[in-house]
Amino acid sequence: MGIQLIRGIIASGPASLDYLLSAGSPASAGSRPGTGDDKDGSALSGKRILVAEDEIIVGLEMQHALENASADVIGPAGSLSEALNILATEEIDGAILDLDLHGEEVFPAADILQSRGVPFLFHTGHGERAEILRRYNRSAVCVKPCLPEDLLAQLARLMAN
């Protein structure tokens, strides 16, 4: 029952659960995409990436994947106000934004990132909403469930452009 609960919280399926449970083990080091030794992950090396995610396990999973890709993780910010405070005080190279942070849409943070020319993507369970694509045509939408390595690969593509 506990494993089912973890899968429900992560919402990324068995592959993500295996990744979470094996994270940090010697056998798993460098064996998954986005760990810093592949072409997508290396693009994130040394980059300061804001993570705005209100689901703690999902946020920690993203943080772990980004750190394995040698990125400097800023956050995870669990609320819109925390994300805005970070943007007011930190230099950011890229961002992964949950669309809904405890009932508040993350658009004010996305507006700041867009005005600065900082690449970002939305990680959301709400699907591809027309508003996102209209307002943020240089961003991307990754629909939950989504594996961390897929998020990192998409972010690396955005940052390369």
**CATH number where 78 lies:** 3.40.50.2300
More confident residue, 153 or 131: 153
Q: Give the C-alpha separation, 148 to 100, whole Å.
A: 18
* Range with lowest mean pLDDT among 26-30, 47-51, 112-116, 141-145: 26-30
Catalogue the E-assigned strands of 14-150: 48-52, 72-77, 94-98, 100-101, 104-105, 120-124, 140-143
pTM: 0.75
Overall domain count for the chain: 1
SS3 (DSSP) at 46: coil
Question: 28 φ, ψ to 5°?
Answer: -95, -10
pLDDT at site 23: 40
pLDDT at site 84: 98
pLDDT at 160 exceeding the cut of 80:
yes
pLDDT at site 103: 93
**Mean pLDDT confidence for 43-56:** 96
**Mean pLDDT confidence for 2-19:** 36
pLDDT at 122 exceeding the cut of 70:
yes
pLDDT at site 130: 73
Contact 33, 153 (CB under 8 A): yes
pLDDT class of 51 with cuts at 50, 70, 90: very high
Domain that holds residue 109: 2-160
Q: Facing residues of 73 across strands?
A: 49
pLDDT at site 42: 75
